[in-house]
C-alpha cells in the first residue's frame, strides 16, 4: 500500500502567504489612498504647502506654489528653498538650517510670520508663513504653509493712509502730521539740521462760507493746499492742522534766508492765484514761522505754539492796517 503525501503543511503555508499578500495589498491600497488624499490636499489647499528636505531642497511644489511664486514644478524641484527668498534674507537663513534641525530656534514653529518671497526673481510678494517640522523615516522635513497677503497689505496701507490723511485736501491730517513731524525732528536734531515750521490760517474762510457756501469754502481749502504743495519741496511735511489752518515743516534749510525766499514764493503763488479771472473770493493767509537751531531737541507742540502766536500777531497787524479785502 502506497502512502499519499501529506500536503496540509504546504496548504497552510500557501494560505498564510495568500493572507499576507492580501494584507500587503490592503496596505498598498491604503498608502495609495493616503497619497491621493495628500496630493489632493496639497493641490486644493488655499495655502501653498511646500515641502523641504533636511538639506534645504524643495521636494514638493503644488500648483498653489506655482501661482504664488511663478516657478513651474519641473523648474524648482530639487532647488534650495533660498531660491524663493529675497537676497537680503538668504545669508541669514542659510546658516540656520542645521541649527533648526538640531532643535534650536524652535520658536519659529507654530507661529505666523509675515515676510516676503520672490516671484520668479522679479518682484517681492508679501506672504504669511507658518513652518512645521516632521519626521519621515530617519529624516526630517520642513513644511512651509504660505499664504499671499498682498490684498490684506494693500488694505492695511490704505487704512493707514486714510487714518493720517485729510480727505478733503490730500495733505496729512493733524494726527499724521504730528506723528511724522516728531520723527523728522528727531532726525534733524541728530543731524544738526535747522528746522523751519510754518503755521498758516485762512483769514476769510468764514466770509466765504457765509456768503458763497461751504462748497466754495471747501474749494478754497483745496486750492490753498495745492498752492502750498507748489511752494514747498516734496520732502517737506504739509498738513491741515484744523478747519482752515495749515502747517508745514521744513528741515535742513540752508539759512534763514531760505525761509524768507520760501515765504516770498508763497506770497507770489497766492497773488498769482488771486489774479485768475472770474474769482469770487481772494485767498488770504496769515502766517507765522519759527526757526529752530539744533541746540536742543524741540517738540512739534512747542514749535506749533510759537508759530501760532506769530500767526495771530500777523493777522492782528493786517486788521489794524485794514488789509482785509475778501474779493
* The pLDDT of residue 249 is above 80: yes
Which residue intervals of the chain bear CATH 3.30.70.270? Answer: 165-320
The CA distance from 43 to 40, in Å, is 5
Instruction: Calculate mean pLDDT across residues 29-52.
Output: 68
- Give me the residues paired with residue 247 across strands: 199, 239
* The pLDDT of residue 184 is above 90: no
pLDDT score for 251: 81
Scored b (16 or more CB within 10 A) or e, 105-143 reads: eeeeeeeeeeebbbbeeeeebbbbbbbeeeeeeeeebbe
Cα-trace Rg, the chain: 36
The CA distance from 77 to 231, in Å, is 56
> What does CATH list as the number for 165-320?
3.30.70.270
pTM across the whole model: 0.61
* Cα distances (angstroms) measured from residue 321 to each of 266, 270, 286: 21, 19, 13
* The pLDDT of residue 216 is above 80: yes
Give the CATH fold of the 39-153 domain: Beta-Lactamase (3.30.450)
Query: Comparing 185 with 248, which gets the higher pLDDT?
Result: 248
Per-residue confidence at 105, pLDDT binned at 50, 70, 90?
low
pLDDT score for 229: 95
Which residue intervals of the chain bear CATH 3.30.450.20? Answer: 39-153
- Give me the residues paired with residue 289 across strands: 198
Q: What is the tens place of the pLDDT at every residue in 310-320? A: 999 998 888 77
Residue 202 phi, psi dihedral angles, 5° rounding: -80, 110
- Say if residues 292 and 199 touch (Cβ distance below 8 Å): no
Per-residue confidence at 102, pLDDT binned at 50, 70, 90?
low
Amino acid at each position: 500500500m502506497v502512502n499519499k503525501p501529506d500536503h496540509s503543511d504546504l496548504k497552510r503555508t500557501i494560505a498564510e502567504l495568500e493572507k499576507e499578500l492580501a494584507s500587503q495589498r490592503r496596505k498598498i491600497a491604503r498608502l495609495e489612498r493616503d497619497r491621493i488624499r495628500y496630493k489632493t490636499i496639497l493641490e486644493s489647499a488655499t495655502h501653498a504647502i511646500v515641502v523641504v528636505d533636511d538639506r534645504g531642497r524643495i521636494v514638493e511644489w503644488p500648483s498653489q506654489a506655482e501661482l504664488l511664486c511663478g516657478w513651474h514644478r519641473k523648474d524648482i524641484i530639487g532647488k534650495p528653498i533660498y531660491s524663493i527668498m529675497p537676497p537680503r534674507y538668504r545669508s541669514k537663513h542659510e546658516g540656520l538650517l542645521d541649527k533648526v534641525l538640531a532643535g534650536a530656534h524652535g520658536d519659529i514653529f507654530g507661529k505666523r510670520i509675515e515676510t516676503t518671497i520672490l516671484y520668479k526673481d522679479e518682484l517681492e510678494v508679501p506672504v504669511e508663513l507658518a513652518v512645521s517640522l516632521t519626521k519621515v523615516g530617519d529624516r526630517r522635513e520642513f513644511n512651509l504653509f504660505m499664504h499671499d497677503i498682498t490684498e490684506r497689505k494693500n488694505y492695511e496701507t490704505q487704512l493707514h493712509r486714510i487714518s493720517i490723511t485729510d480727505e478733503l485736501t490730500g495733505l496729512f491730517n493733524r494726527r499724521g502730521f504730528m506723528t511724522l513731524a516728531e520723527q523728522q525732528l528727531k532726525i534733524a536734531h541728530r543731524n544738526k539740521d535747522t528746522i523751519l515750521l510754518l503755521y498758516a490760517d485762512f483769514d476769510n474762510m468764514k466770509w466765504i462760507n457765509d456768503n458763497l457756501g461751504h462748497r466754495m469754502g471747501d474749494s478754497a481749502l483745496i486750492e490753498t493746499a495745492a498752492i502750498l504743495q507748489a511752494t514747498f519741496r516734496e520732502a517737506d511735511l504739509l498738513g491741515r492742522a484744523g478747519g482752515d489752518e495749515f502747517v508745514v515743516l521744513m528741515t535742513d534749510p540752508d539759512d534763514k534766508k531760505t525761509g524768507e525766499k520760501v515765504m516770498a514764493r508763497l506770497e507770489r503763488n497766492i497773488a498769482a492765484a488771486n489774479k485768475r479771472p472770474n474769482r469770487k473770493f481772494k485767498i488770504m493767509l496769515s502766517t507765522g514761522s519759527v526757526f529752530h537751531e539744533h541746540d536742543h531737541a524741540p517738540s512739534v507742540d512747542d514749535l506749533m505754539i510759537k508759530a501760532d502766536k506769530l500767526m495771530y500777531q500777523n493777522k492782528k497787524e493786517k486788521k489794524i492796517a485794514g488789509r482785509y479785502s475778501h474779493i
